[in-house]
Amino acid sequence: MDARTILSRFTLSFSSHGERGGIHVARWGGASSRTANMLALTGPTGRVLLYVRVRTEGSGFWGLNYAHLKSLQSSNLPWFVALLLGPSETAYLLPAQLVNRAIESGSWSEGKWEYKVHDNHEINGALRFNSYADLFDELVAAYVVT
């Protein structure tokens, strides 16, 4: 299964789960470019942003685009990064504080356009999930948007 299919499956799962809870899930228009990887979860009392990255291989890294992270950091909204490891529904949720700390400390290697994040000590402190529904529930619980 390719990354685009995994991202689409994730977004559909989130949208379906959100509708049942009164939360609208859509692409976030405030990103530096219109991308399917940047989502906004909007409920009656607030909005949370989610930057989703997919890795389809067993080993390797996720690339976190500098411009997308800068858009999140300047949004003045709560935000998270979700790292998906397909084709299963394995996922990691990184709060903004963990991402910012990793960037400031130089924990992640830097490429031309992105930080390279590996699933080892580089994501210590991230929450791990075996289903997208569980990740959604945690995200909503962490920032009550209902």
Question: For position 146, what pLDDT does the model report?
Answer: 44
Tens of pLDDT along 124-136? Answer: 889 999 999 999 9
Tokens 């977004």 locate to: 11
The model's pTM: 0.92
Strand order in the sheet with 114-117: 62-65, 114-117, 109-110
Residue 92 has pLDDT above 90, yes or no: yes
Residue 7 in this model has a pLDDT that exceeds 90: yes
- Output the pLDDT for position 143: 65
The answer on pLDDT for 115 being more than 80 is yes
Residue 144 reports pLDDT greater than 90: no
CA atoms within 13 A on the CB side of 38: 19
Residue 84's alpha-carbon distances to 19, 44, 63, 104, 105, in angstroms, are: 22, 27, 12, 23, 24
pLDDT of residue 59: 74
Q: Which of 38, 43, 45 is nearest to 10 (CA)?
A: 38
pLDDT value for 18: 83
User: Which CA distances in Å does 63 have to 54, 55, 87?
Assistant: 9, 9, 17
Instruction: Tell me the pairing of strands 90-95 and 62-65.
Output: unpaired
Indicate the number of domains in the chain. 1
Residues in the chain: 146
Q: Is the pLDDT of residue 49 over 60?
A: yes
Domain boundaries, position 50 = 3-142
Q: What share of the chain is helix, strand, coil (3-state, %, to 5)?
A: 35, 30, 35
Averaged pLDDT, 75-81 = 94
Which CATH number fits the domain that encloses residue 64?
A: 3.40.1350.10
Indicate if the pLDDT at residue 25 is higher than 50: yes
